[in-house]
Chains A and B, each alone.
Chain A
Amino acid sequence: MTLNVDPDHKQSARRTLADLQPGDTAEVVALHSEGAERRRLMDLGIVPGTRITAELRSPLNDPVAYRVRGALIALRQSQAVQIEIRSPAPEILS
């Protein structure tokens, strides 16, 4: 019998949008939500490869406003944890 040594029950390797601090930029890796939630996020332009920046945090801590493709979109933490991110590839400025 193996013990689950992950006390927080987090899939520890996954870094999600909820971890992004205001001012930081990341790149979307994958969307882990399904159905209507997933379609809505994609409609807003949040697809794998998209650069996303956390900009504002509500005074009550939730939601957080993210800059996506030029627009400022507010997402609740329950949504942000479903979006897997990684550090962005360096931007090629032309």
Chain B
Amino acid sequence: MTMTTNTLPGSACATCSMNRHLARLGVRMDSWDYVVALAGNPNTGKSTVFNVLTGLRQHTGNWPGKTVARAEGGFEYGDKRYKIVDLPGTYSLLAASADEEIARDFILFGQPDVTVIVVDATRLERNLNLALQVLEITDKAVVALNLMDEARRHRLSVDHRRLARDLGVPVVPLTARRGEGMGELLQMVHGVATGEIKPRPHRLASTRDSALDRALSQFVARIEAAFPGLPNARWVALRLLDGDASIENAIRDGSLGDLSRGLQTAPVAERLALAEATS
């Protein structure tokens, strides 16, 4: 059961600027300009970010691993309408479980205009693992560094600018449950979605096994030849080498090919529908 609320009890003035530009739409929307995917480890306050932006309410408590089947909502920022999809919280995207496949497939086949990766500032090392995996798949990403209030409480200081330089994508510190930093997040999301900001994500350079690296780069070259325009050939190569059935099927039924040509064709849509239906 969901409800729309248009005020966040106890929201501080810090959200004023956001509130001026943000109109929460709940689920009342038929069309949108951009699609935003919300990814992240469980228990990072991802759903709080979702709630603040859309005005919907999803309670998850302090419970790592509480899967809420993918939720959707909408908001308007500036003059653009955004559909936001809250993907299941996962530890990784290497497709070991249904949740991970849903998240991964949405980012890959759903081609969201922006993927926001919510990260817990107090557990950066753990959370960056997923962020790095997302960055292997897409370069249109923004990292939301959430739970900054907890970081302060534990007297941790996180240099988000350095992190942004290292990761190659915008990093926005925020405390979603107090509404702090949400304005900047929206600005970054807007920037990446419209193409004003072009992130150049950090990608894993090598696997420390030179023989493997050589074979890999040859393989990647062949993939790029077969599917020119594919933004993440190296990631595809790694998945194929890992025996990822889902990616193999995507090659067989042509959807990967369509994806590389930037087409939203039937096979692609089918994969997306499958991802949506299983949630």
Binding site for B on A (CB under 8 A): 36, 39-40, 42-45, 69-71
Contacts and interface: CB of A to CB of B under 8 A. Distances in A.
A45 B125 CA distance: 9
Contacts of A42: 92
B96 A45 contact: no
A51 to B, nearest CB: 11
Given A44-B91, A45-B129, A39 B123 contact: no
Contacts of B122: 70
B126 interface: yes
B125 A43 contact: no
Contact of A43 (B96, B123, B124): B96
A56 to B, nearest CB: 16
B94 A70 contact: no
Interface residues of B, number: 11
A11 to B, nearest CB: 27
Contacts of A71: 123, 126
A42 B126 CA distance: 11
Nearest to A40: B96
Nearest to B92: A43
Interface in B84-137: 91-92, 94, 96-97, 122-126, 129
B96 A36 contact: yes
Most A CB contacts (10 A, CB to CB) among B94, B96, B125 go to B96
B33 to A, nearest CB: 35
Contact of A69 (B92, B96, B97, B126): B126
Given A43-B94, A45-B126, A71-B123, 16 more contacts: A36-B96, A36-B97, A39-B96, A40-B96, A42-B92, A43-B91, A43-B92, A43-B129, A44-B91, A69-B123, A69-B125, A70-B122, A70-B123, A70-B124, A70-B125, A70-B126
Interface string B129-163: 10000000000000000000000000000000000
Contacts of A45: 125-126, 129
Interface string B252-263: 000000000000
A45 B123 CA distance: 12
Interface in B202-238: none
16 contacts: A36-B96, A39-B94, A40-B96, A42-B92, A43-B91, A43-B96, A43-B129, A44-B91, A45-B125, A45-B126, A69-B123, A69-B126, A70-B123, A70-B124, A70-B126, A71-B123
Nearest to B94: A39
A37 B107 CA distance: 25
A44 B126 CA distance: 8
B262 to A, nearest CB: 31
A35 to B, nearest CB: 9
A36 B95 CA distance: 10
A44 B94 CA distance: 12
